Amino acid sequence: MYIDKHGDAWYKCSLHNHTTFSDGKRTPAELVEIHRAADYDVLAVSDHWLTWPGELTGDALPPDTYNCDDRPEFIAAALAERPDRPKQIGLLNAVELDCGGIDTRSGVYHILGLGTCGRTDWSKYHGKAAQDLIDIVRKHKGLAFLAHPAWSLNTPEMINSLRHLSGAEIYNTFSDVGFNARGDSSLLLDIVATHGNLLPFIATDDTHFLLGEEVTSFTWIKSKSTCRKDLLDALARGDFYASQGPRMAISRQAGSFRVECDPVSEIIFYTNRPFSFERRHYGTDITEHTYTPHEHDKYLRVEIRGADGKRAWSSPIKV
Ligand SMILES: [Zn+2]
Ligand SMILES: [Zn+2]
């Protein structure tokens, strides 16, 4: 967590993770401990077709503490019992639903549902279309995000046909590392934005503990607290940005956009224009730059890259 110059808190959130309850290689308890040790504030456990049963301590949680707003506090209390666990972590119910099988020509979509409520047998929704899965997540009081669209070979037309998405993964670590090599969806989502669909961006690890993808990419969320309601309100407002470490803030000043950030080697301003002589600003330990939109710019998004290769991505902003 960090506090910005306006006094607002930004929480370090890992929003897409799998455990031994689906195809991950670590238990929920191990997932929590690894993220707590890496200074995360919020963890969403998003097993495939399954909301995590909550066996943090090895004991099943009582049914009335499972799956609703009181669960993070219960878990936090459990975590606080041990003196060697100094930091609490907020937990967010989540699930990953998918359709389309293994041939992308038939339309593969993976939908990340964040903050869902209620004990749900998700398996009864197998075979539903992508829009149905989004609507089902929302019916369970969650927010739906499009997971790894580049990995799924989603086309801009496929993405633009979907309604009521709260955002999309601009970067998914697991889809990039090891044998995967298709984790960066920025080009695809730039085309989507060029068509006027300004989906906000999250970054995730899609942790499975298979390829060293864990604790790499995350989302900074500006929220009043780490409880479910405040996090979902912030996600619905778009008060977040994707990162692998670097922090940034964008402010509008008399028609220009000013970026302030941690010291990085590149600040890049992506818009709908092909030609731009001001797209990349680079150097050593840059901490600010101002971009004045061209008359044909319709949207702007900012990407910063540190000397260590770590990046952060703003959501697209209407110019
Ligand atoms: Zn997936
Ligand atoms: Zn996943």
Residue 299's contacts (CB-CB under 8 Å, 6 or more residues apart) are 193, 194, 198, 271, 272, 316, 317, 318, 319
Amino acid at 28: P
pLDDT recorded at residue 145: 98
| pLDDT string in tens for the chain (319-residue length) | 999 999 999 999 999 999 887 899 987 778 888 988 899 999 898 989 887 644 333 333 333 333 334 444 445 544 554 555 556 678 888 999 999 988 888 899 999 999 887 667 888 999 999 999 999 999 999 999 999 999 999 999 999 999 999 999 999 999 999 999 999 999 999 999 999 999 999 999 999 999 999 999 999 999 998 888 899 999 999 999 999 999 999 999 999 999 999 999 999 999 999 999 999 999 999 999 999 999 999 999 999 999 999 999 999 999 9
Together in a domain, 94 and 156: yes
Amino acid at 5: K
Together in a domain, 275 and 220: no
Scanning the structure block, which residue is given the tokens 């089902």?
136
Rounded to the nearest whole angstrom, what is the distance from the C-alpha of residue 241 to the centroid of ligand 1?
20
Together in a domain, 229 and 270: no
Rounded to the nearest whole angstrom, what is the distance from the C-alpha of residue 207 to the centroid of ligand 2?
7
Together in a domain, 234 and 291: no
Nearest to 60 by CA among 69, 45, 71, 49: 71
Together in a domain, 190 and 126: yes
Together in a domain, 230 and 290: no
CATH of the domain at 270: 2.60.40
Angle between helices 70-80 and 28-37 in degrees, nearest 10:
70
Together in a domain, 225 and 287: no
Together in a domain, 119 and 182: yes
End position of a domain, from candidates 176, 211, 243:
243
SS3 242: strand
Domain that holds residue 271: 248-318
Together in a domain, 92 and 229: yes
HSE value, Cβ hemisphere, 13 Å, CA-based, for 142: 30
Q: What is the pTM for the complete model shown?
A: 0.92
End position of a domain, from candidates 243, 277, 302:
243
Ion ligand 1 neighbours (CB, 5 A) are 110, 147
Rounded to the nearest whole angstrom, what is the distance from the C-alpha of residue 293 to the centroid of ligand 2?
36
Give me the number of domains the chain comprises: 2
Together in a domain, 135 and 220: yes
End position of a domain, from candidates 194, 214, 243:
243
Tokens of 139: 């019916």
Together in a domain, 267 and 226: no
Nearest to 27 by CA among 49, 52, 9: 52
